[in-house]
Structure 1
Amino acid sequence: MEVQKRAKIGARCKISSHSFICEGVVIEDDVFVGHGVMFTNDLYPRATIADGGLQTEADWRVVATIVRQGASIGSNATILAGVVIGEGALVGAGAVVTRDVAAHAIVAGNPARPLRDARRPAQLRPAQEIRT
């Protein structure tokens, strides 16, 4: 796991291995971040400036990303710069979050799309019989 300077992580959070939390990310209390989650902080990343010189910190602006209290982010999700993940929301494993996620929403896919409200019980199918 890497946490860059000026990233903020609240109390009682669980940050799993191989995750990258860059400058500008704010994670509130009670948040779960799965393995290999990647945050970004630049909407238009470039290596060089217009005259061909290498870009420096002075050439770009950090774009904040916020993960609200009690949210959960599944393994290998990618969270793009400027997104707000709402309170109690759940981001599915491998999702690419390109837009804000509403409070208590469950989102999944690429790009991440809402599936249902996390406060409603899941409609589980009966377990299938295992034949040996």
Structure 2
Amino acid sequence: MIVQNQMETVKISPIENQNPRVKFWYPQYSNISLDAQIGKGTTIHSHVWIADNVIVGENCRIEAFAFLPGGVILEDNVFIGPHVCFTNDRKPPSDKWDTITVQNGAKIGANASILAGVTIGEDALVGMGSVVLKDVPAGEVWAGNPAKFIKKL
């Protein structure tokens, strides 16, 4: 896998067999499980944590300091802003994880927190700093703490 940063192009051998078309920025500061699946055309910025059993679709963008624990599914063309935190356990500590699904084209703004078991619908938008406690329907804007419906797109 070829990795680019502002200073040089480097190779990451543990991940290079996964998908040569994934772009990492400053990968030395990220933790990406070898059991994560990452689709082509996806860009992952620095300080990102992607755990086991995470699926990232094609052409996604994951900004710096995002946290994706096991059970997160990002479909294609998803944007995850900086410092977005997904949780996979509604009642910690537990051995049972709840899946979080972010459907095609959805966007999640900086510093949002997404509760375990939530689905963010296709082309939905979650505003920055939001705390999402329940499903966000397709094509809607939700924001706030707790996140509430704002408008249809």
Q: TM-score, normalised by structure 1?
A: 0.79
Match of 2:52 in 1: 5
Deviation at 1:95, TM superposition (A): 0.1
User: For 2:108, which of 58, 73, 84 is the aligned residue?
Assistant: 73
Match status 1:96 vs 2:131: yes
Trace 1:8-47 onto structure 2 (pairs within 5 A).
8-46=55-93
Deviation at 1:35, TM superposition (A): 0.2
Letter in 2 for 1:42: D
Match status 1:107 vs 2:145: no
Instruction: State the SS of the aligned residue for 1:43.
Output: coil
Q: Which ranges of structure 2 fall in alignment gaps of 5 or more residues?
A: 1-47
Higher relative contact order (CA 8 A, sep 6+): 1
Aligned residues: 106
Deviation at 1:62, TM superposition (A): 1.0
Match status 1:63 vs 2:98: yes
Quote the RMSD (CA, aligned, Å). Answer: 0.7
Following the alignment from structure 1 to structure 2, what is the Cα–Cα distance between the partners of residues 45 and 66? 20
Following the alignment from structure 1 to structure 2, what is the Cα–Cα distance between the partners of residues 99 and 105? 13
Q: Which protein has the larger Cα radius of gyration, Structure 1 or Structure 2?
A: 1
Q: Which ranges of structure 1 fall in alignment gaps of 5 or more residues?
A: 47-58, 119-132
Following the alignment from structure 2 to structure 1, what is the Cα–Cα distance between the partners of residues 91 and 97? 11
Identity of aligned residues (%): 44
Following the alignment from structure 1 to structure 2, what is the Cα–Cα distance between the partners of residues 62 and 98? 16
